[in-house]
Amino acid sequence: MKKTFTVGWLYPDLMNIYGDRGNILTLLKRAEWRGFDAKLVELGRGTIKRMEEVDVFFFGGGQDREQALVYEDLLEFKQPPLEQAVNNGAMVLAVCGGYQLLGHYYQTAEGEKFPGIGMIDVRTEAGKKRFIGDVVIDTEIETLNPKTLVGFENHSGRTFLGPKARPLGKTRLGYGNNGSDGMEGCLQGTVLGTYLHGSLLPKNPHLADYLIRNALIRHGVDELSPLDDSVELAAHERILSRAQHH
């Protein structure tokens, strides 16, 4: 019997602003191409159905109006099963708004604090200038090859890491978490937060495989069969070479 691989998409209708579907498709296809039975569980408002089956959760960005609706739902429904799943080894990829909501809080320019669910040790404050553009980072994840991650950022939040979180990487191009400490994203246990979209995973197939592999270890899968990534890596390479001309 085929082994299954399940992606859980948190709020596909509300938190889906920067081509987040690219991340979902990449996870599903790369599992499917390796013979897994790849499944998608859509986790809209008010449902926690099948959250315990999820291997990789994806939590994307949204607009302010939607983000407020999502926060309510997270507290009311999703937080306990999400924490449970993470404790059992499920991976989480959170981008932009999703990244902020998993942290301690988001503080507006007026000083008002919107609490997050505190799953990761990060806090975010509103900044004046919006950080928009291509990003290249050198990642801190030892097993990744190539070492670079490429993407596009568009955020005004400044995110700072606490002692429990470590950065996803150092920015070579772009602003990253806050534009001041040269760091981008965060890693804490099985949760990976970042401002990179573009979409992130299609042009970083090695990161997609990292998420898939680490989620499947608990099901006794230790190696993923190699795929031909020449098309993906050519797109990755294009951004790297453009970065050198900046």
Three-state DSSP class for 214?
Answer: helix
Question: Tokens at residue 107, please?
Answer: 């503080």
* Beta carbon of residue 162, minimum distance to other proteins (angstroms, whole number): 28
User: Using CB under 8 A, which of 5, 9, 10, 20 touches other proteins?
Assistant: 20
User: From the candidates 155, 197, 206, 236, which is the catalytic residue?
Assistant: 197
Give me the residue label for tokens 């790849």: 38
* Beta carbon of residue 63, minimum distance to other proteins (angstroms, whole number): 5
Those residues with Cβ within 8 angstroms of residue 119's Cβ, 6 or more apart along the chain or in another chain: 79, 82, 83, 86, 92, 102, 103, 188, 191
| CA-based end-to-end distance of the chain | 50
* Beta carbon of residue 88, minimum distance to other proteins (angstroms, whole number): 29
Cβ atoms of 19 and 199 within 8 Å: the answer is: yes
96 is catalytic: yes
User: Using CB under 8 A, which of 154, 170, 181, 224 touches other proteins?
Assistant: 154
Those residues with Cβ within 8 angstroms of residue 236's Cβ, 6 or more apart along the chain or in another chain: 146, 148, 150, 203, 204
Instruction: Report the residue number, 55 or 153, with the smaller CB distance to other proteins.
Output: 153
The answer to whether 45 contacts other proteins (rule: CB under 8 A) is: yes
User: Which of these segments, 11-19, 76-84, 137-145, 164-172, binds other proteins (CB under 8 A)?
Assistant: 11-19
* Beta carbon of residue 6, minimum distance to other proteins (angstroms, whole number): 18
Instruction: Report the residue number, 64 or 110, with the smaller CB distance to other proteins.
Output: 64
DSSP state, residue 12: T
Size of the site for other proteins (CB under 8 A): 35
* Helical segments of 15-160, H only: 21-32, 64-73, 79-87, 97-102
245 is catalytic: no
Binding residues vs other proteins (CB under 8 A)? 13-14, 16-22, 25-26, 29, 44-45, 63-66, 69, 130, 132-134, 152, 154, 197-199, 202-203, 231-232, 234-235, 238
Q: Please identify every residue annotated as catalytic.
A: 96, 197
